[in-house]
Structure formats: structure tokens, C-alpha cells
Amino acid sequence: MILPGFPPKQSKNLSRACPNPDCPLSGQSGKGNIICHSFYITTQGRRRLYRCKECGRTFCSTYGTPYDRLHKPRSLFDEVVHMCVHGVAISAMAQIKQMAWGTVARWLQLAATYAERFNNRMLKGFLIHELQADEIRTFIGSKKRVIWVLTTLEVWSRLWVSVVVGPRNFRHIKRVILSTLQRGLIQHRFLFTTDGFEMYEWAAKRLLVGVCIFGQVIKKRRENRVAQVDRRLLLGTNAELEETLFHSEDSSTLDTSFIERHNLPIRQGSAYLGRRTPCHARRTEFLVGHMALLTTYYNFVRPHMALKFGKTLRTPALQAGLAKKRFSFREVFTNQPAFFLFVLVVLAARHCRFELQIVSVRLWESGQDSTTLA
Ligand SMILES: [Zn+2]
């Protein structure tokens, strides 16, 4: 029985889709095929079980999220992920939470997979105004196995656009630049600045001719201090550079200060990247997973102090127009494309209804009948 004033029970499940790949309605939400089936008891309380009327398969409310088959509270999972992106090592987390090292490592790998998926899906279609690229040196296992974390930053929105872990060679430089270009939109020639590594010049002259104004900042150090700074313009003319800098809200000259400052939250946010620490990564997959978690946290969860407008603190994704609010890790992990489609459909339907109401009111005011429109 449906109580007056309450929506039908089925309407709550419109955002859910059948996970069975053999089902004709697999992955399609809003079809009315998902119904509430029953509950099952866990150590954390009871969870809802859903059923697809089309294929008859049942699935639980946490299906398709990292919380599926989790034998601990979801809040503990979120807490472990939060500790990870604040630079706490896995062994320290295992000690604090009285858990096995392997469980924490497995949770973090799982969280990294979902976070990377979310970041790849959401981080698209922002405007590239000014780009800076840099690398962080670290090692895997022993100090002889040097590895680099290559990053690009969109300066205006402070978006951490792309990250690649691997040797510092042309292939990886090309990969990080192409990944950045695939995600962003180019409406005008943007300013691209890097350090003096020669591979950037090769990549820029092969991939970015006519797309950007490219310059390098070469710092010469003496006794661990910067003694001389050389700025080289390699793509574009001086007049074009001056015009771009005139329109830039952040830079007044060719510099890499924003990406160098950005290296600080990266180093602080990963236990693997601390200096003089025994917590270095033992395997490349672990470092890649940390970077995926940290990228999502930096772009969508953590408010950026440089993006403070009055009392409002924005995340880089908010500033770039990729999100309408600051996300939490719970929302990142439970976020599914089907739910977004459902929200868009509801918003579009409301908008259409509102437009029709306005038309009806205008026609009524002008003394016409609304049926004459058709
Ligand atoms: Zn089904």
C-alpha cells in the first residue's frame, strides 16, 4: 500500500541499474526493473538487497563500490584512505587501527582503482589557460632503481591534470603531455612552461606547434642555492608571450613556481615520497595507486587555499567548472555514471515543466488559450 504523500517504493531505485552483463537492461537506470527485495544482516547492521525483475538477479546496495563485501565499517575504510592521502605509512595505519598490513594495502589498492576511475570520468572538458610541468625524483625498492613522477598543472584552476610514473624519457614526457591535451579544451594558444629538461623541448616542437607558447626556466645552483635563472622562449614570439602574460591572472613572467609549489602537497600527501624515509615504495603499482588517490583527493576533495573567494574555499574541480560542490571520499567511491544520468534527466524534466508553466502564464495573460499553440 502506498501512503498518501509518499512516492511509490520503486521510484527510489530509478538510479540503480542491473549489474548482470547478460541482462537486456544491464547498466540502464530508470527502467523500473529494480525493486527492493529483502535485507541481509552484516556485523555493521542490515543492508538492502535489490532484485532485477528482468533477469531475476539480486544484488546488494554496496555492489559496484569498494565497500562491497567489506567486513569492517565503511567509515573505517574512509578513515584509512584519508590517512593515506595525509602521508601516513601503511605500517603506521595498521598499528593505529589494529589491522593487518596486508588488509590496509589491499584496501588502498581498491580505493585507488575507484578513485582513478572517478578522476578519469570527471576530469574532462576544462579550459587550458596556462600549463606547467615538472618531475619528482624517487626510487622503488633500492636507491639504484630511480623512478620519476611526471606531473602537469593547469595554473588558473590549479587542476592537477595528469600524472605518469616511470623513467624520465621522451616516451613518458609525451604520454603526460598527450594525456593533458586529451582531457582539456584548447580555445587559444596557452602558455606552457617547464624546467630545462631537453625532452620537453623535443616533445613541444613535435606535438605543440601552433597550440602553445612554450618556454623553459633553467636554474643554475651554487652551494645548494639558486644562483642564476635563465628563461628561454622556444615556441612563439616575444610579442605573443607579452600578450599572453598580460592576460594571465597568475604569471608575470616565464616561471615554474606554481608546479614547484605543487610538489609540496604531493610529497606531503604520500608516505612514499617523503625525504630520508624508510617508507619508500617497494613496488611501482603501489606508487601509481598512491598517485591516483592523491590526484582525486587534490582535485575534488581538498579545498585549495589559493582558491579562496571571500569565505568560500573552492576545490580545483569547482574552480574549473567540473563539479558543483566539494566531494567527500564516500561520494567519490559510491558515485556511478547511472546516478548522474538520472539527476540530469530529473533536472531537464523540471526545467521543461518550468518553461511550459511560463508559456502558459504568458498566454493566459495575453488572453489566449494554451491549446492554440499546438
Ligand atoms: Zn537484470
Q: Each residue of 115-169: pLDDT tens digit? A: 999 999 999 999 999 999 999 999 998 888 899 999 999 999 999 999 999 999 9
Q: How far apart are CA 128 and CA 228, in angstroms?
A: 30
Instruction: Find the 53 Cα to ligand 1 centroid distance in Å.
Output: 7
Instruction: Find the 37 Cα to ligand 1 centroid distance in Å.
Output: 13
* Residue 347, pLDDT above cutoff 60: no
Q: What pLDDT is attached to residue 82?
A: 95
Instruction: Find the 117 Cα to ligand 1 centroid distance in Å.
Output: 24
Q: Each residue of 302-320: pLDDT tens digit? A: 999 999 998 899 999 999 9
Neighbours of ion ligand 1 (CB under 5 A): 18, 20, 23, 52, 54-55
Question: Which grid cell sits at 16?
Answer: 540503480
Would you list the DSSP string of 294-325? HHHIIIIISPPGGGEETTEE--HHHHHTS-SS
Average pLDDT score over residue span 205-217: 90
Higher-pLDDT residue of 336 and 86 is 86
Beta strands 159-166 and 146-154, pairing class: antiparallel
Short-list 81, 1, 58, 64, CA closest to 296: 81
Q: What pLDDT is attached to residue 339?
A: 45
- Residue 293 — very low, low, confident or very high, per pLDDT cuts 50/70/90? very high
Torsion angle (degrees, nearest 10) of CA 296, 302, 306, 310: 130
Instruction: Find the 26 Cα to ligand 1 centroid distance in Å.
Output: 6
Instruction: Find the 74 Cα to ligand 1 centroid distance in Å.
Output: 27
Short-list 250, 165, 153, CA closest to 192: 153
Contacts of range 345-350, beta carbons closer than 8 Å, 24 or more positions apart: 345/30
Q: Coil, strand, or helix at residue 144? A: coil
- Residue 13 — very low, low, confident or very high, per pLDDT cuts 50/70/90? low
Q: How far apart are CA 123 and CA 358, in angstroms?
A: 36
* Residue 369, pLDDT above cutoff 50: no
Instruction: Report yes or no: 163 and 148 within 8 Å, Cβ to Cβ.
Output: no
Instruction: Find the 21 Cα to ligand 1 centroid distance in Å.
Output: 8
- Residue 279 — very low, low, confident or very high, per pLDDT cuts 50/70/90? confident
Rounded percentage of the chain residues whose pLDDT exceeds 90: 51
Instruction: Find the 128 Cα to ligand 1 centroid distance in Å.
Output: 42
Q: Each residue of 88-121: pLDDT tens digit? A: 999 999 999 999 999 999 999 999 999 999 999 9
For the whole prediction, is pTM greater than 0.75? yes
Instruction: Find the 51 Cα to ligand 1 centroid distance in Å.
Output: 8
Burial of 292 (0-12, 13-18, 19+ CB in 10 A): buried
Instruction: Find the 111 Cα to ligand 1 centroid distance in Å.
Output: 27
Domains and CATH numbers, the chain: 9-64 (2.20.25), 127-282 (3.30.420)
Instruction: Find the 27 Cα to ligand 1 centroid distance in Å.
Output: 9
- Residue 300 — very low, low, confident or very high, per pLDDT cuts 50/70/90? very high
Q: Each residue of 351-361: pLDDT tens digit? A: 555 454 544 44
Average pLDDT score over residue span 312-332: 92
Distance of CA 241 to the CA centre of its chain: 31
Average pLDDT score over residue span 13-35: 84
DSSP state letter for 32:
S
Q: Each residue of 47-82: pLDDT tens digit? A: 889 999 999 999 988 888 899 888 889 999 999 999
- Phi, psi of 101, rounded to the nearest 5 degrees: -60, -45
Short-list 89, 101, 91, 44, CA closest to 270: 89
Instruction: Find the 238 Cα to ligand 1 centroid distance in Å.
Output: 62
Residue type (1 letter), 27? G
Higher-pLDDT residue of 82 and 2 is 82
Beta strands 58-60 and 159-166, pairing class: unpaired
Instruction: Find the 103 Cα to ligand 1 centroid distance in Å.
Output: 32
Instruction: Find the 50 Cα to ligand 1 centroid distance in Å.
Output: 10
